[in-house]
Amino acid sequence: MNLSARVRGLVPSATLQLKAETDRLRREGVDVVDFGAGEPDFDTPLAIRDAAKRALDAGDTHYGGSAGRPTLRAAIARRITARYGGNWKPEEVVCGVGGKGVLYLLMQALVDPGDEVMIFSPYWVSFPEQVRLAGGTPVLLPARQESGFIPDPAAAARALTPRTRGLILNSPNNPSGAVTPLPVLERFADLARERGIWIIADETYDRFVYPGFQFASAAGLRERSGDRMALVGAFSKTYAMTGWRIGYALAPRPVIEAVTGIQSHDASHPTSFVQTAAEAALAAGDDSVERMLAEYTRRRDLILAGLSTVPGVGFLPPGGAFYVFAAVGDLCRRVGAGSSADLAARLLREARIAVVPGEAFGVDGYVRFSYALPEGLIAEGMRRLRAFAER
């Protein structure tokens, strides 16, 4: 079949593929401990669900504006400005179908065929593919474990070419959990201003940062960057709303208008009653977020303690998100696995553990463990992993 060139080289999402395979095994009755899922295992808070129910009962099921509901855009602008600075206005906010959907629209609005977009690895699986779908070329730069997986502004400066259009930053990072310090973000903002490139900052995990680490947002650096800053966020992780598909971007008004125009021909707008639920999430306060963070902190401590007993596995404690990006090169050699992808396949087949191989994030020799699952399953998964390594 003669498909378009843009999809012939497309690499499907490895994390969603793993979820589909894990779900298939479970339907067949196989007991799998799933460390692959990149979503909270908590239910959406009751106040948010009730708001959506009331909206449905009130007939909130009709078309709306392509940029999202004005009241929601205003609430997001207020929240980001109050928390991180930047003096964002409602007209500088667009709401879309998940953070992933908004990021895709930004790539379509900012990237022309032949443009280069720098991405630090390990990276979230969709970053390079979304650049390619816009006709751009991802330029991959390493963020190494010995540097805490923190992206290096000097490396980005050396990689600049006349075709460089922008740079994607992700903090807290998926998969490494690295939290980029403010001085590093400031150097990237300076680079954007001096060289006329865009910074696209994905801060989806901004509320999940652990004791000893300090989150810094790019939102307050818009002036320093020469107003070449676009910020992406989502309700998915913060409020356990992954299936609701609601995200947002903040950027200068011309960019938001371009994104809105694209969305008018794409999804039209995010679902009406989901926007009502998102407003309720912002109005409900931070109690549910703080409870989730406390639980993630306990789970983080548990999985790190478990991994420390597994021969051939190393790791850096994550500063944010809910993943451990574990170094497994020694374990691969110990068990005769040719790559982290080979190891992940064997763990699923032999130990009934699901993990995402590092190749999906641009780095071999690692696997990602999500600890967004109950403590009992974490403990059982660590027991299975240890038994596999010791066999």
Residues 276 and 291 in one domain: no
Residue 133 and residue 204 in one domain: yes
- Could you tell me the pLDDT band of residue 25, with boundaries at 50, 70 and 90? confident
Q: Which of 256, 283, 310 is the last residue of a domain?
A: 283
Quick check: is 263 in a domain? yes
User: Rounded to an integer, what distance in angstroms lies between the CA atom of residue 98 and that of residue 196?
Assistant: 28
Same domain, 235 and 340: no
The per-residue DSSP string of 262-285 comes to HHHTTTSSS-HHHHHHHHHHHHT-
Asked whether residue 236 is domain-assigned, the answer is: yes
Q: What is the pLDDT of residue 27?
A: 87
Please classify residue 265 by burial: count the beta carbons closer than 10 Å to its beta carbon, then call 0-12 exposed, 13-18 middle and 19+ buried: exposed
* pLDDT classification of 14: cutoffs 50, 70, 90: low
Pairing mode, strands 116-121 and 33-34 = unpaired
> Does residue 149 lie within any of the structural domains?
yes
Cα 99 from Cα 95, distance rounded (Å) = 9
Number of C-alpha atoms within 13 angstroms, CB side, residue 121? 16
Domain that holds residue 250: 60-283
Mean pLDDT on 132-150:
97
CA distance 96 to 188: 26
Render pLDDT for 264-308 as a digit per residue (tens, 0 to 9). Answer: 999 999 999 999 999 999 999 899 999 999 999 999 999 999 999
Least confident of 27-41, 140-154, 163-177: 27-41
Same domain for 86 and 33?
Answer: no
pLDDT tier, 2 (very low <50, low <70, confident <90, very high otherwise) = confident
The Cα–Cα gap between 230 and 102 comes to 11
φ, ψ (nearest 5 deg) of residue 40: -60, 145
- 76 and 205 together in one domain: yes
DSSP designation for 132: H
Split into its structural domains, the chain has a count of 2
- Is 338 found in the same domain as 241? no
CATH number of the domain to which 367 belongs: 3.90.1150.10
Q: Which two tokens stand for residue 201?
A: 């900052």
11-25, 42-56, 104-118, 284-298 — which is least confidently predicted? 11-25
The answer as to whether 66 is a domain residue is yes
Which of 283, 313, 345 terminates a domain? The answer is 283
313 and 357 inside one domain: yes
Work out the angle at residue 62's Cα, subtended by the Cα atoms of residues 56 and 65, and round it to the nearest 5 degrees: 125
Round to whole Å and give the CA distance between 190 and 179: 19
Domain end point (choices 240, 261, 283): 283
Say if 49 falls within a structural domain: no
Q: What's the maximum distance between 2 C-alpha atoms anywhere in the chain?
A: 61
Quick one: 386 and 362 in the same domain? yes
* Whether 109 and 204 share a structural domain: yes
The answer to whether 347 and 35 are in contact (CB under 8 A) is no
User: What is the rounded distance in angstroms from the CA atom of residue 38 to the CA atom of residue 100?
Assistant: 13
Same domain, 190 and 136: yes
* Whether residue 151 is found in the same domain as residue 110: yes
Q: Identify whether 53 is part of a domain.
A: no
Q: What is the CATH number of the domain that holds 135?
A: 3.40.640.10
101, part of any domain: yes
User: Are both 96 and 10 inside the same structural domain?
Assistant: no
Q: What is the mean pLDDT of residues 336-341?
A: 95
Quick one: which of 264, 255, 278 has its CA closest to 99?
278
Whether 55 is covered by a domain: the verdict is no
